[in-house]
Amino acid sequence: MVEIIPAVDILEGRCVRLEKGERGRATVYDLDPVAVARRFARAGATRLHVVGLDGAIAAQSPPLPVLRAIVEQTGLPVQYGGGLRSVEEMLEALGAGASWVITGTSALADPGFLRQAASAMGSLTQVILALDVRDGRLLVKGWQAHAARDVVSVLEDARLAGITTLMVTDAGADGTMGGIRPAVFAPFMDSGFSIIAAGGVSGVDDVRLLAGRWGGRGLAGIVIGSALLKGRMTVEDAQSAARAAVTGRGRQGPGEVSL
């Protein structure tokens, strides 16, 4: 199964989408992110991706009251990220109702961070490691800087600490609806981790491409923001495309992919 995960990005209390992570290129979709989350729930979403952009970009406090309201009013499991740079902040987000927390900057800056988190939390089954990629390099601090570490060392630390899920985002395509660039995701799909892919989805063809190529081979989910918010497709459209692509792939011979 490849899960379709609608994105609710929060900036200054509003539901927005940023183009390539740039704050100056924000499109406001709704003044009430909780209302957007409710619409996704009614449309059949099974999980939500919620990000506090103020925390990611400006290191401000995560919007935990909004997170709590989304969880309470939708009843959906939420993966939450955005400026969670300490174990305490991760635990606070879980306490506010998140089913999973997403961390990137701290884990990439400090080789021991994930082990510290595992010690404090007991396990990292509720932690998703964010790997945001642009031009082949990892980004940190809300995509404002390059990480000093390379992918190989980061994945090794993640594996040893007990991380099971990576969220890989094509930062060069995120928010553009320019289409999926498979080469960005390919290096991670056979890494042994479950992969949630994000960035560039423009419609059902991109969902078919990802699910058809990697469904059952590492891909666990696809985060979609702008394409849903702009009405390029519905949650149900995306879910149907993912199911059909995975099923079709299972009926084909080795090396054949239906796109």
Active site amino acids: 9, 132
Angle CA 252–258–259, to nearest 5: 165
- How far apart CA 116 and CA 235 sit, in angstroms, is 37
For the CA atoms of the chain, what is the radius of gyration? 17
Q: Which two tokens stand for residue 113?
A: 């961070």
Contact (CB, 8 A) for 32 and 15? yes
CA-based nearest residue to 53, from 28, 86, 88: 28
Contact (CB, 8 A) for 10 and 66? yes
Contact (CB, 8 A) for 119 and 158? no
CA-based nearest residue to 82, from 63, 96, 109: 63
Angle CA 183–252–1, to nearest 5: 65
